[in-house]
Chains A and B, each alone.
Chain A
Amino acid sequence: MRRLLEMTGIAKSFGGVPVLTDVSLTLEAGEVLALLGANGAGKSTLVRILSGALQRDGGSIFLDGEPVAFDRPEDAIRAGLRLLPQEISVLPALSVAENIFMGDLPMARGRLLPRVDRTRMRAEARRLLTELGLEVDPDRLVGSLSAPERRIVEIARALAGHARVLVLDEPTAALTESEIRRLFRVIATLRAQSVGIIYISHYLDEVFAVSDSIAVLRDGRNAGRFATREASHEAVVLAMLGVRMEGLYPPVIGSSGEEICSVERLGLRGGQGELSFQIRAGEMLGMFGLIGSGIEMVGRALYGALGPIPGASMRLKGAPYRPIDPRTAQARGIGFVAAERKEEGIIPDLSLRENITLPFLSRYRDGLALSRERQRADVKHWIERLDIRTRSGEQPIRLLSGGNQQKACLARWLIGGMHLLILEEPTRGVDVGARREIYAALRTLVARGLGVLVISADAEEIAGLVDRVLVLARGRLAGEFAHGVTAAQLLDAASPAVGAA
């Protein structure tokens, strides 16, 4: 094998906060390197730098021993380096062959008008697809293909562009087990063709099944490199999670009261799975699962954001509960903090005060107009209680840091006097200091008798924070644990072995 890619001393920070510090990575031709790390470890930042989508602050990248600099993704692609993001990106209205050659259509020579050479394009497409083990008509529309077939078309497109390094980001998130095995066969083919592959996944079993070596990132630094054959699950998980930080999580008190909410037969993943559970007053229930397990739907279903859920039966404080939309959920005392803060949590141009008071504006009515004084008083109270760092409540919320925005998303429901609070990924993109404060605030709320449901793909957070954990895999309950469970046990319960039915 020869050294294909080398990254040394890579550094990157966003707004003064370091995201990557002195990160190094090497990849041989024909090697499958798994890149592992908890949420926020810096994996995606690293591969975005590699693919030219982001510019590094420091460090060097060598391809075949030559130093390279990619200003734009096009530069990286030209150099033979392709990032295939988690979301498959194909053009569904075009044919398989057109998708494969879109960047560089073969032209017919010696004609008056330039014209695409369809015969050659079809033949080339067929050859590439056969190598990858996919037998489809190159004229078929990509829209009619299944998810793994589209993925293979995407890989064929990369090979047609003479890619030598492929970065696959969570390539199995939307695939079934037999489809995953098919993808693994394609990866074996690529390896035989001396393509270097960086494989990003949360699924440890997949990583052990497909990779030659494993590189681990933690908090933006190298945290270990293993030869897959010699590594153990335990060693890799320890490298990913590190030693638990002291004092990040408040102590669990565990004195839950009566049932607040019960859910029966909630269909997940398009009916592939079904889930039943209860939440009690004064309880912090955690829900953990990997990407694609269905956890991302649970909170939204409960909050009415998915509309009425046929088949499911829910009760809230003993009375039947049929959420139609978020407003009905709010009226029954349910608050919700969405995972994607920028897209779903904040109105960027409105002020901190307006963002916090938005769901309960009618409470601030003074005749026809809103009373800004009463809004200010309430917002000031929560700014102090949650220690939101801002010049004033009148700052546009987009100017605040992620942690402070998240506190505002939480404060929104504290004004309302809710019974049940649902939080998705409560500390994604939030710095450690703000995380500690958010955890402490949640604990205080629970102690006051609120029910809290924390939905997170961060095993360490779930293990440290909550009273009770439900683990989901492929839309079904895969385990229930009390506080004291370790992150490694959660990851284990959430990863169904590849190949098992």
Chain B
Amino acid sequence: MSSTGDLDRRTATAPRSGLSALLRGSRAGVAMLLGFYVLVLLAFTLISPWFFSFKNMMSIGANMSFIGLMSAAQTPLIIAGGLDLSVAAVAGLAGVIVAQLHAAGLPIWPAAAVALLAGGLVGAVNGLFTTRLRLNPLIVTLGVMSVVTGLALVLTGGLTAPLIVAGFNWIGSGEVAGLPVPLLFTVALYVGLGWQLANTPFGRFVYAAGGNPEASRLIGVPVERTLMVLYIFSGVVGAFSGLVLAAMLGASAPDAAGQHLLTVIAAVVLGGTSLFGGRGSVWGTALAVLILGTLDNGLTLMDVSSFWQNVARGIVLLLAVSLDQIRTRALGD
């Protein structure tokens, strides 16, 4: 998939015909995902009478917001050649921090601010290790993930704590004009990031840094600074998603988030972002999150056990990635 996010089709002087143009075009990956999403929607609509309703759609959106937020921040980071495996652990820690500070008497919003700051700090640590010491991000963020998960367990003794604060719970379970608040946050983040990546110098630096870091340095692209910003961003968004989850559950559980790490990475890859960097888009990630969320929801409505849902999710991922590889090879791109 080669959605550099900024190829204006209007300027190509040799128009190509329908399907082949779509399959070759830079947005082909996103188009394929959209088609697949529609198929999944159709299938579940036919199978389950409860599936296709506004209420159920919104419930999918709200439930996937937590994953969607983390995946959104992860996408530009991976495009730029980075990776943050600590993001879900940071979400867990943020929930713990806000609950404990609030329990200790700090008002809820300052407590939330501290949690976001902590997330940014973890991101900065990831960034420093990977850009200054040039360590492999897989290893660095794996280590940091373990440290952060451990800290959250130490702080709580592994126990879940209730967190019921009217204003705060609104960010997880409130509604505006019938739309879930967490979904609104998520949509806003995707739109903002998508615009940023396509239209600003920073967005170009993200693709350049991941596409060819050596050439980028020689051209004068601030590769290290770009990655640093993205690691900090991933940490802050990770913490924010942890707050949303805690607000939604009305509780902070140190281990509530960690299990979702692989779903986050799977969504980014399914969305067509190359783990080698340089290619991808947040729109692909958004569709992938929707597909994964819809699968979970539909299978649950069909009474399929959550154990089998794992199997289904894995198969979809393998299928989508293989199809994309076959398409790319067949077109000799």
Contacts A359-B220, A370-B199; A350 near B207 (Cβ below 8 A): yes
Q: Which chain B residue lies CB-closest to A371?
A: B199
Contact of B215 among A347, A362, A369, A372 (CB under 8 A): A347
**Would you call B200 an interface residue if the criterion is a C-beta within 8 Å of the partner chain's C-beta atoms?**
yes
Minimal beta-carbon separation of A90 from chain B (angstroms): 24
Complex alpha-carbon distance, A496 and B2, angstroms:
50
Q: Which residues of B contact A292 (CB under 8 A)?
A: none
* Stretch in A35-43, A260-268, A337-345 touching the partner: A337-345
The reply to whether A350 and B222 form a contact with Cβ atoms under 8 Å apart is no
Q: Are A368 and B200 in contact (CB under 8 A)?
A: yes
Min CB–CB distance A400 → chain B (angstroms): 14
Q: Are B217 and A394 in contact (CB under 8 A)?
A: no
Is B19 interfacial (CB 8 A cutoff)?
A: no
CB of A351 within 8 A of CB of B201, answer no
Interface residues of A in 329-388 (CB under 8 A from B): 330, 336, 338, 343-351, 354, 358-359, 361-362, 364-365, 368-370, 372, 376
Identify which of residues 1-59 in chain B touch chain A, using a CB-to-CB cut-off of 8 Å. Answer: 2, 4, 6-8, 11-14
Give A82 to B211 CA distance when docked, in angstroms. 34
Determine if B214 and A394 form an interchain contact, defined as CB atoms under 8 angstroms apart.
Answer: no
Taking a contact as CB atoms under 8 Å apart, the answer to whether B199 and A391 are in contact is no
- The residues of A that contact B245 with a CB separation of less than 8 Å are none
The answer on a CB contact under 8 Å between B208 and A326 is no
Q: How far is the CA of A305 from the CA of B216 in the complex (A)?
A: 11
Min distance, Cβ A401 to any Cβ of chain B, angstroms? 17
Instruction: Specify the chain B residue showing the minimal Cβ separation from A326.
Output: B220
**A-B CB pair tally, cutoff 8 Å:** 96
Cβ A392 vs Cβ B11 within 8 A: yes
Residue of B nearest to A357 (CB): B204
Minimum CB–CB distance from A407 to chain B (whole Å) comes to 16
B4 touches A350 (CB 8 A): yes
On whether the beta carbons of B4 and A361 are closer than 8 Å, the reply is: no
Q: Indicate with 1 or 0, residue by residue over A316-329, a CB within 8 angstroms of chain B CB atoms.
A: 00000000011100
Nearest to B221 among chain A residues (CB) is A358
Q: Is A476 among interface residues, defined by CB-CB distance under 8 A? A: no
CB distance from B286 to the nearest CB of A (A): 21
| B207, A345: Cβ atoms closer than 8 Å | no
In Å, the complex CA distance between A187 and B201 comes to 56
Q: Is A220 positioned at the interface, with any CB of B under 8 Å from its CB?
A: no
User: In the assembled complex, which residues on chain B have CB atoms less than 8 Å from the CB atom of A392?
Assistant: 11-13
Q: Are B221 and A369 in contact (CB under 8 A)?
A: no
- B219 contacts partner chain A, Cβ-Cβ < 8 Å: yes
Residues on B facing A (Cβ under 8 Å): 2, 4, 6-8, 11-14, 195, 199-201, 204-205, 207-208, 211-212, 214-222, 278-279
* CB<8 Å pairs between A and B, sample of 7: A305-B217, A350-B208, A354-B6, A358-B204, A365-B201, A368-B200, A392-B12
Binding site for B on A (CB under 8 A): 303, 305, 325-327, 330, 336, 338, 343-351, 354, 358-359, 361-362, 364-365, 368-370, 372, 376, 391-396, 412
Given A344-B218, A391-B12, 10 other A-B residues pairs in contact with their CB atoms under 8 A = A344-B214, A344-B215, A347-B216, A348-B278, A350-B4, A369-B195, A392-B11, A394-B8, A394-B11, A396-B7
